[in-house]
Structure formats: C-alpha cells, structure tokens
Amino acid sequence: MILTLTPNPSLDLTIALAGPLERGEVQRAVAASEHPGGKGVNIVRALAASEFDALALLPGDPSDAVVRALELESIPHLSLPIGATLRSNVAITEPDGTTTKVNEPGPTLSAAQLVGLLELAVAKSDGASWLVLAGSLPPGAPADFYAQVISAVRTRYGAAAPRIAVDSSGTPLAATVAGAPDLLKPNAEELAELSGMGDGASLEADPALAASAAQSLVDQGVGAVLATLGAKGAVLVSTAGRWLAKAPVIAAKSTVGAGDSALAGYLLSTLRGDGPEACLKQAVAHGAAAASLPGTLVPALHQTNPSAVEVTALAPDKES
Ligand SMILES: O=P(O)(O)OC[C@@]1(O)O[C@H](CO)[C@@H](O)[C@@H]1O
C-alpha cells in the first residue's frame, strides 16, 4: 500500500481561458472544473485510477468541500477533523498549456493537530510500501515537520518502515535531506534551490547539470532523486546510476498535478518490481499523460504510453 500525507490539502479550481491571460483585465472563462487536490491527494487519485492500493491522509472536517469531494470521487482517504476550512487553490490555463497558479496559505493547524497528523501517519505506516510526504506545510507547522515524521516512522518500525518519498519545496523539503529519505521528487526550480546549483531554467535546459545537482543530494544520503524537468522529461539519480528520460511531444492542456502523476507512475512501477529505467519511463509517461488532460485530472495506467519515452544513461560527473 502507498500512503500519502498532505498536511495542506486544497480544493483545486481550474479556469480555462480562450486566449492568453491578460493581467488587470476582465476575461471570460470557457470552462471551469473543481477537484480535491494537494500533492499527496493527487498521487492517491492517480494510483486509485490504476487500481493500486493507496490511502491519502489529510486534515479536514467531514463537512469540508475537499473531504466531501474525496468521498464523492471514491478516493481512499482518512481525514483528521480540524474545525477549520481547508484552502482553495486556483489554476488559470491558457490554450497553449501555460498555467498560472495561485495557492492560498491554508488554515493554521495547532500543535496538537500536527501531532495528531504525525501520529496518524505513523500508525498507518504499518505494512505500507511507501509513505509520501507531500506538498507545502500549513501555517503553524514547524519547517522540520516532515523530518519529524520521517524520524518517528523509522523509530517505530525500524527496518520494516515503509520507504519514504518527499515531494515538497523550500525549507520543509531541505529539512528532510539530513534524514536520508529514500526518494525526493523536486522539479527543476526546487532542485536548484536545494542543491545550490544553477536555477530552474538552467537545470531544465541542461539535464546533465540537473543530474549533477541531484547527485549532490544522493552524496548526502538521499536514496534517489527523481527530478522532473517539465517538457524536457526527468532525470533519475541514485547510487545505482543516473538516467535521463525525454518527455514525448504532447499538446499540454494543464501542467497542474503532472509532477504528482509522475511520482505516482514511478511508485507504482517500483511496486511492479521494475528496475530504475522502467520506473523512470513510467514516471515520465504518467507526467506527460497528466499534462495532456485538462485541469488537475490524473491519468490511469492505460492512458499512459511508456513506450513513447526514451531513456538514456547519463555519464557520472568527472570527479565522482
Ligand atoms: O501549495 P503546495 O502544497 O505546494 O501545492 C498545492 C498544489 O498546487 O499542488 C498540487 C499540484 O502539484 C495541486 O493539487 C495543489 O493546488
């Protein structure tokens, strides 16, 4: 089973425009859709669509729109009541696939509620294959909240602990590196910030540089880094090697949730017992399929085409 923890989930509203976004103008939308979101929620939506056993843990009252949407869509979840309304995030998509995202901060969680979420993650980790710590942290959470969860789960289960993946950003992501998670899934910008090498644009343009940046995290004890590089594809770096997967050419409709789908594809591929190259292929196939769907729709396995993804091994850095 794949377990995800999303401390700051959202109701994702996607608004599609008929033309480019014009700042300061009134524009008419041609379509709008709403889905329960947050990175870990999207990962479970993608896994459930492919009938993989997955469970999303999140804060949220039974009456909250996010929790009700999860019920309605039959997405496996367990929510911890917090007595506050979860956030709404907005994505505006243009016909060429350009997506502008505005995310609310989310409700403040008390120390007791955060302990409740951490304890829920520890309890539900029993027998799980993966635990994914996903998304931003809500106001009130300490920056090392994910690091605390990693430590608590490993203390509780030792060698039987699930493998731990982190899909976050900024300080909450950086604070997990010392805890040696099994997998990090940064995008180019997050990888640049985390490694101190280049910037988002330069890592997307130069996958070898992205691989070097990922290597610097593996050298610090991270099990593997799956770095998504937008339309360029993704690189996977671990002690076993480094690979680049080129993304197939697609007509992008909305990139929201593409990275989450890529991680879902990678995780389900590990559960099939695939090797690193096949896992990377499935990740990029899932990400591409998600980007070609409108809004935050996530693909099922049968909607992905891993055979269209080309994977090549990358040479190690000269000094490593
Ligand atoms: O504000 P965060 O937690 O970093 O990201 C939240 C979010 O943008 O991530 C998902 C897409 O990856 C969306 O479902 C959601 O709105």
Is 93 a pocket residue for ligand 1 (Cβ < 6 Å)? Answer: no
Residue 25, burial from CB neighbour count under 10 angstroms (0-12, 13-18, 19+): exposed
Task: Write out pLDDT tens, residues 222-260.
Answer: 999 999 999 899 999 999 999 999 998 888 887 888 999
**Model pTM score:** 0.96
Q: Is the minimum distance from the CB of 190 to ligand 1 under 6 angstroms?
A: no
The total domain count for the chain is 1
Nearest ligand 1 atom to the CA of 296 is 14
* pLDDT given for residue 251 in this prediction: 86
Q: Is the CB of 7 under 6 A from ligand 1?
A: no
Closest residue by CA, ligand 1 atom 5: 135
| Residue 230 domain-assigned (yes or no) | yes
Has residue 320 been placed in a domain? no
Atom of ligand 1 nearest to the CA of 168: 4
Domain assignment of residue 208, yes or no: yes
Is 207 within a domain?
Answer: yes
Q: C-alpha dihedral over 253, 259, 261, 263, to 10 degrees?
A: 160
Position 256 scores a pLDDT of: 86
- Domain that residue 154 falls in: 2-313
Identify the CATH number of the domain in which residue 131 sits. 3.40.1190.20
**Residue 319 forms part of a structural domain:** no
Is residue 10 within 6 Å of ligand 1 at its C-beta?
Answer: yes
Identify the residue whose C-alpha is closest to ligand 1 atom 1.
136
Known catalytic membership, residue 260: yes
| pLDDT 10s digits, 7-16 | 999 999 999 9
